[in-house]
C-alpha cells in the first residue's frame, strides 16, 4: 500500500483486482512526489479479500445468459464499505464507459471531494446492485472500452492530483494546461533557439511579455480551431479573441 502517515489533503481509495498495477503506476512523477509529501493519500482494496469463496472467485455468469462474466455484488460492496469505514465520508465513483464524460471541468469538481473511492470493474461489468446501493456517480474517460477500470482510474487520479495546491512545482502550470481556460494549450519551445529541425518564433525571444501573451493566445486559438473547433462553440469570445480568429482565418486563406 502507498500512503502517507498523515492525511493532509486529497485521498483516493481504489477498489481493484490489480492493486499492484495502480500502486506502481502512481509511484512515479508528480503523483509519486505528492504521495511522499502527503499531498495525496492512496489505498487500494482487492475485492478478493472480501469473498467467501475459498478460491478467491469474485465473478459469475450473468443471469439471463450472454457472454463473459460479471463481478459479484457482495465482495465489491464489502470492499467499498470497508474503505468508507476507514476513510469516513467518501464520494464513490464507478469507472465505466456508460458514465458521464470526464474532462478538465470534472477534474476541478472532483477536487472538491477530499475523499474519493474509485471502483474499477473487470470482465463484462459489475452486478447492478453495487451501483444501486453504493455508487454516487458513473464516470467515463471516453467513448471506448478497455479491459478494466484501472487505467481510467489512474487518469482521474493524475488529472485531479495535479490541481491540488502544492503538487506542481509552479502553481501557474495547471492554469496554462490545455482546457484550463477552454482552449488548447499554445505551442511550447525550449533551447536551443535554432537547430536543424526549425527555429523558435522570434516573439518568444524578444522579452516583450505583452506580445508573448498575445502570440500565445492567438496560437491557442489557432490550435483549437484546427483540432477542437467544438470547444469554441460554447465559448463566449472576447473582442480580442474574435479579432485574432479573423487574423488566423485571413492568414490561412491568403
Can 222 be counted among the known catalytic residues? Answer: no
Angstrom distance (rounded) from CA 16 to CA 121: 7
User: Which of the residues 114, 177, 181, 185 is marked catalytic?
Assistant: 177
Cβ–Cβ < 8 Å for 227, 194:
no
Burial (CB < 10 A; 0-12, 13-18, 19+), residue 45, is: buried
Angstrom distance (rounded) from CA 122 to CA 170: 37
Backbone angles phi, psi at 78, to 5 degrees: -65, -40
Q: What are the cell numbers at 98?
A: 456508460
Cβ–Cβ < 8 Å for 231, 183:
yes
User: Which of the residues 162, 216, 219, 222 is marked catalytic?
Assistant: 162
* CA distances (Å), origin 89, targets 80, 152, 155: 12, 23, 23
User: Which of the residues 108, 124, 164, 185 is marked catalytic?
Assistant: 124
Can 97 be counted among the known catalytic residues? Answer: yes
Q: What are the cell numbers at 160?
A: 485531479
Please, which residues bridge with residue 161 across strands? none
Can 162 be counted among the known catalytic residues? Answer: yes
The 3-state DSSP class for residue 90 equals: coil
**Within 10 A of 177 (CB to CB), how many other CB atoms are there?**
16
CB proximity list for 43: less than 8 A, separation 6 or greater = 1, 2, 3, 11, 12, 13, 14, 83, 86, 87
User: Which of the residues 62, 97, 187, 201 is marked catalytic?
Assistant: 97
Can 137 be counted among the known catalytic residues? Answer: no
Just list the catalytic residues. Answer: 97, 124, 162, 177
Amino acid at each position: 500500500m502507498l500512503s502517507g502517515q498523515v492525511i493532509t489533503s486529497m485521498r483516493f481509495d481504489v477498489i481493484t483486482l490489480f492493486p499492484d498495477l495502480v500502486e506502481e503506476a502512481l509511484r512515479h512523477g508528480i503523483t509519486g512526489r505528492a504521495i511522499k509529501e502527503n499531498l495525496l493519500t492512496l489505498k487500494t482494496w482487492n475485492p478478493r479479500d472480501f469473498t467467501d469463496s475459498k478460491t478467491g472467485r469474485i465473478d459469475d455468469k450473468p443471469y439471463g445468459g450472454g457472454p463473459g462474466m460479471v463481478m459479484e455484488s457482495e465482495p465489491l460492496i464489502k470492499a467499498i464499505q470497508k474503505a468508507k469505514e476507514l476513510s469516513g465520508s467518501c464520494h464513490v465513483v464507478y469507472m465505466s464507459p456508460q458514465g458521464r464524460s470526464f474532462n478538465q471541468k470534472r477534474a476541478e469538481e472532483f477536487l472538491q471531494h477530499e475523499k474519493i473511492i474509485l471502483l474499477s470493474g473487470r470482465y463484462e461489468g459489475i452486478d447492478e446492485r453495487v451501483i444501486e446501493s453504493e455508487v454516487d456517480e458513473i464516470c467515463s474517460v471516453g467513448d471506448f472500452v478497455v479491459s478494466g477500470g484501472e487505467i481510467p482510474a489512474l487518469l482521474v487520479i493524475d488529472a485531479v492530483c495535479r490541481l491540488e495546491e502544492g503538487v506542481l512545482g509552479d502553481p501557474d502550470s495547471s492554469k496554462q494546461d490545455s482546457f484550463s481556460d477552454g482552449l488548447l494549450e499554445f505551442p511550447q519551445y525550449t533551447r536551443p533557439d535554432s537547430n536543424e529541425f526549425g527555429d523558435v518564433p522570434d516573439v518568444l525571444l524578444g522579452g516583450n511579455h505583452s506580445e508573448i501573451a498575445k502570440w500565445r493566445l492567438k496560437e491557442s486559438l489557432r490550435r483549437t480551431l484546427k483540432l477542437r473547433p467544438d470547444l469554441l462553440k460554447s465559448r463566449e469570445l472576447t473582442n480580442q479573441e474574435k479579432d485574432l480568429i479573423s487574423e488566423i482565418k485571413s492568414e490561412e486563406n491568403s
